[in-house]
Structure 1
Amino acid sequence: MNTEPLQRWLAQRRPTTHRFPYDCVVDAYQHHGKQFVPKTWTTLLHSARERLPQVSGPHGHLAAFLDTTLDKTDNKYDYRSYLALPLLPIPDPDSSTERADRLLAHRDRFHLLLLSDLIDFELRAVDNIEAPLPQLRPDPPVVRKRLRHAVRATAPALRRLSFDMRAAADSVTLARRLTAMTSIDRTKADQLMVRTTMLPVFTVHDEYLFIRVLQAFELTFGLLAVDLAAVIAAVAEDRLPAAGIRLTSAATLLHETTPLWPLLATMQPEAFHTFRAYTDGASAVQSRAYKLVESLCHTPDPQRLRSVAYQSVPDVYARIGRGQTSLDDALDTIRAADHRALAEIPVLADGIRQFATAVHRWRRTHYSLAVRMLGTHQPGTGATLGTPYLLYGRDQPVFRNSHDQTDFLGCSGV
């Protein structure tokens, strides 16, 4: 891997962000793996980061990219930097203020970008084209199965974005059709986002799949957190039918992620155990989006708050400490004013049941996959507690069980 493009950029008296040689840096990281990228590269990237104050153009993406590439040398490697989450447009309750339909359209678009990039990567393996991450490539039948699940995982977003996917005789043909169709309106910003968010720790083929699926989950959980915040606001304003409709939409979105699990299950255990040896420090227990969803459903008890799950997401912990209102809290207020109020709003009751059911199914499926990959007594990714904990944290009730006949939230843990 040639460092000359990066050296030339650094040698400029006034370098610009839009001319930064992202491609050569990404190529080097995918060739060596972040764990083994030569010091020559990290030294030059440190120099690039030091020069940022003198660089022309918007610094946001480049600064986040440099921090992500240098996370191991900075001793700041974690789940967010492993998945390059600062470079992804993760929805957030504090900043995502657009209408629900617009937010869903944005999520769908980036969901397609991530999965179509994964599909394109797998097609290169089918075609025996030289590609990064060459170790432990899966056999052709596994790749075809993987492509079938990946295409299926894009279907709801494709429909909402009005893409017309014609049927095909086999999964490979359908996958080629999908990548061609979704590449038509891809912008330079899209291409940059997709390119810079794939910085694996090693050179095992299946890590590409692992990263893209977890990124897709993070996009969805970010939007679910926004949805829950909107539901809580609607309940506080006594717009209970609107709250029920939004919660039902959130349940549908989470249910639509179901095909991502059989897609992830095509990952070869040997491949997983090979690259996870270099992921110490990064665990999905550190997922901010998931903890936001959990805490917006139900305020965690003190023991849960003291767990590694919440200590790993200090800003979410701080939100709870400042008195963040959960959906349980908002509904308790309604119930206290009129214990019959919730029973008289069937659409809200139905939304609550659907969302709780969707979360429980998601957790159960995730747990079964964790057992398949790790066994029942193995530590989890990043030296966390493994299968006694879910990848995204210990299984908790979605909502509090108050044993109140008017309480539609009562759901015990799995």
Structure 2
Amino acid sequence: MTPQKDTPAGSVAAPPTTTGVGRLSLRAVGAGSWRRSPRLAVELLDRWSARTSGPAAEGTSGFPFEAVLGHFQAVGRNQADPDLIERLRVLAGSLPPPRTVHDRILANWLPGTFDHEDGNYDSYAAIPLLEELAGADGPDRIDAGLDGLIVALLADLLRFEATGLRANPNAAKQRARTQATFRALVRAGEIAPLAEDLLPSIPSSDTARGDRELAAADAVLTRVAEPVRHAVRIAMLPTTNRHDEVMFIRSVQTFELLYRRIARGLERAVSFVDGGEPSAAIGEVTEAADKIAATTLLYRVLTTMPRESFAEIRANTSGRSAIQSRAYREIELRGAPIPPNPQAPPLSVEGISLQEVFTAMPGGPAATALAAAMRNLDDAWRGMKRTHWGITLKIIGQVPGTGGTSGADYLRIAADQPLFPVLHPGTGEQDGGVRIA
């Protein structure tokens, strides 16, 4: 995609109708020439590097995020200035050991600014940065950290879409996207129950107008801790300057954190069964099923993706396939032993699977109840995959997947694969291991 030309001094800014769903991002059209040009970012980065490498080193304080982000978001990551990218690469290799949460944020954010040749799904969506932040308060707070980030991501997306609606109040597609995002935030407690305190009382409505949605997003974001708001803001490095890629990246990030949360729950379920606490294991499995069922909220947002926009995003994200998702594959491995998927990077997890500890249980009411909970999770998991298949078929048709798969056909086959093959005699465990395209 060709970067936008600088607007001549005194000219009229591009009209709002050039922005929004199916069009350019407001961050591209509304950006001044100083954002599109890398000059300011390079100058401020050089000043910061000189200051922090000298005797009066200040850690990550004062890093010019605004200037760097302004350039990247105005032109797209793939069109960012090569000289700026190289400076960021050198900086990443020379950072001192992190001392603060902001040091760790910078260290985990930088690799995503220069991943053009060796990028993957994680670097595309800044997953290492978000996962690092989720664990910043200690291992006992990771689940709460994940839930808080999920809510913050949805609130930030709603703010972005509501701003787009205010610029284009009569755009039906923008209104539909904003409404779907609003509903996802209102009901975010279903996928992020430990962050319900971040959700103020938000009245639901069938009509999106922009102002109310923007107020709701701001009400949530003001309750979010400053490091989380900061990390969410900078974890947006789209490869293009299309409005729709912001929604896509936020959706990827939300799903990845949700999958991580579910994988942790299944790991605990195994420990509970091993420790003779089947009722606690049933609780974990039931909660996981409820979260998976609630992903329909997120998929309703994804269905607003125009086919032509996604075609451009796909063309700019080669090598960054969802088949690389570690959290998704961990859920599969926590569920049952499956053979490696040759199309996905290798992954292993410690310990045995839930299916293995379940089959080792003696018969009785506890085993029967756990089997019922596992079956509900299995049904929800396959239902989610069928939804993904249907959306993929609508948006990209039958074109091959970016991870080397057959695309929608691959997802159709994947949707038939159970999470717990032992509950489905005749399916054959050798058929496991398939993954979304």
Alignment TM-score, normalising by the size of structure 2? 0.79
State the distance in 2 between where 1:126 and 1:369 align.
Answer: 24
Match of 1:274 in 2: 312
State the distance in 2 between where 1:19 and 1:385 align.
Answer: 46
Paired-residue identity, %: 29
Conserved 8 A contact 1:281-1:382: yes
Deviations 1:376-397 (A, max 9, x none): 3x11135543112239977522
| Mapping 1:33-72, distance limit 5 Å | 33-53=76-96, 59-72=103-116
Aligned-residue offset at 1:344: 4.8
Match of 2:386 in 1: 364
Matched, 1:308 2:350: no
Match of 2:152 in 1: 113
> Structure 2: which 5+ residue stretches go unaligned?
1-36
Match of 1:379 in 2: 400
Conserved 8 A contact 2:265-2:285: yes
Amino acid at match of 1:70: F
Aligned-residue offset at 1:215: 0.7
State the distance in 2 between where 1:110 and 1:79 align.
Answer: 18
After the TM superposition, which of the residue ranges 40-49 and 236-245 deviates more from structure 2? 40-49
Does the C-alpha gap of structure 1 residues 244 and 402 become closer, same or farther in structure 2, counting only changes over 3 Å? closer
Match of 1:134 in 2: none
Aligned-residue offset at 1:106: 3.2
Match of 1:80 in 2: 122
Conserved 8 A contact 2:270-2:357: yes
After the TM superposition, which of the residue ranges 56-65 and 356-365 deviates more from structure 2? 56-65
Aligned-residue offset at 1:128: 2.5
Aligned-residue offset at 1:347: 3.5
Q: 1:325 aligns with which of 352, 371, 385?
A: 352
State the distance in 1 between where 2:328 and 2:388 align.
Answer: 13
Amino acid at match of 2:78: Q
Aligned-residue offset at 1:86: 0.8
Match of 1:26 in 2: 69
State the distance in 1 between where 2:293 and 2:98 align.
Answer: 44
Match of 2:247 in 1: 209
Q: 1:237 aligns with which of 252, 255, 275?
A: 275
Conserved 8 A contact 1:241-1:345: no
State the distance in 2 between where 1:186 and 1:299 align.
Answer: 38
Does the C-alpha gap of structure 1 residues 383 and 345 become closer, same or farther in structure 2, counting only changes over 3 Å? closer
Aligned-residue offset at 1:195: 1.6
Q: Secondary structure at the match of 2:395?
A: helix
Match of 1:135 in 2: none
Does the C-alpha gap of structure 1 residues 364 and 155 become closer, same or farther in structure 2, counting only changes over 3 Å? same
Conserved 8 A contact 2:105-2:133: no
Does the C-alpha gap of structure 1 residues 365 and 62 become closer, same or farther in structure 2, counting only changes over 3 Å? same
State the distance in 1 between where 2:131 and 2:323 align.
Answer: 20
Matched, 1:225 2:260: no
State the distance in 1 between where 2:416 and 2:170 align.
Answer: 34
Match of 2:31 in 1: none
Aligned-residue offset at 1:201: 0.7
Aligned-residue offset at 1:171: 2.0
State the distance in 2 between where 1:358 and 1:96 align.
Answer: 31
Match of 2:174 in 1: 143
> Structure 1: which 5+ residue stretches go unaligned?
130-137
Q: 2:207 aligns with which of 170, 175, 192?
A: 170
State the distance in 2 between where 1:191 and 1:235 align.
Answer: 38
Does the C-alpha gap of structure 1 residues 105 and 16 become closer, same or farther in structure 2, counting only changes over 3 Å? closer
Conserved 8 A contact 2:73-2:237: yes
Does the C-alpha gap of structure 1 residues 268 and 327 become closer, same or farther in structure 2, counting only changes over 3 Å? same
Amino acid at match of 1:164: S
State the distance in 2 between where 1:110 and 1:56 align.
Answer: 22
Counting matched residue pairs gives 379
State the distance in 1 between where 2:90 and 2:410 align.
Answer: 40
Amino acid at match of 1:308: Q
Conserved 8 A contact 1:152-1:259: yes
Conserved 8 A contact 2:104-2:132: no
State the distance in 1 between where 2:132 and 2:412 align.
Answer: 19
State the distance in 2 between where 1:17 and 1:387 align.
Answer: 44
State the distance in 1 between where 2:133 and 2:354 align.
Answer: 19
Matched, 1:389 2:410: yes
Matched, 1:246 2:246: no
State the distance in 1 between where 2:59 and 2:424 align.
Answer: 61
Does the C-alpha gap of structure 1 residues 29 and 379 become closer, same or farther in structure 2, counting only changes over 3 Å? same
State the distance in 1 between where 2:393 and 2:402 align.
Answer: 12
Alignment TM-score, normalising by the size of structure 1? 0.83
Match of 2:371 in 1: 349
Amino acid at match of 1:62: L
Amino acid at match of 2:330: L
Q: 1:155 aligns with which of 186, 192, 206?
A: 186
Amino acid at match of 2:377: F
Does the C-alpha gap of structure 1 residues 142 and 19 become closer, same or farther in structure 2, counting only changes over 3 Å? same
RMSD of the alignment, in Å? 3.1
Amino acid at match of 2:49: L
Amino acid at match of 2:343: V
Conserved 8 A contact 2:89-2:111: no
Amino acid at match of 2:381: V
Aligned-residue offset at 1:105: 4.0
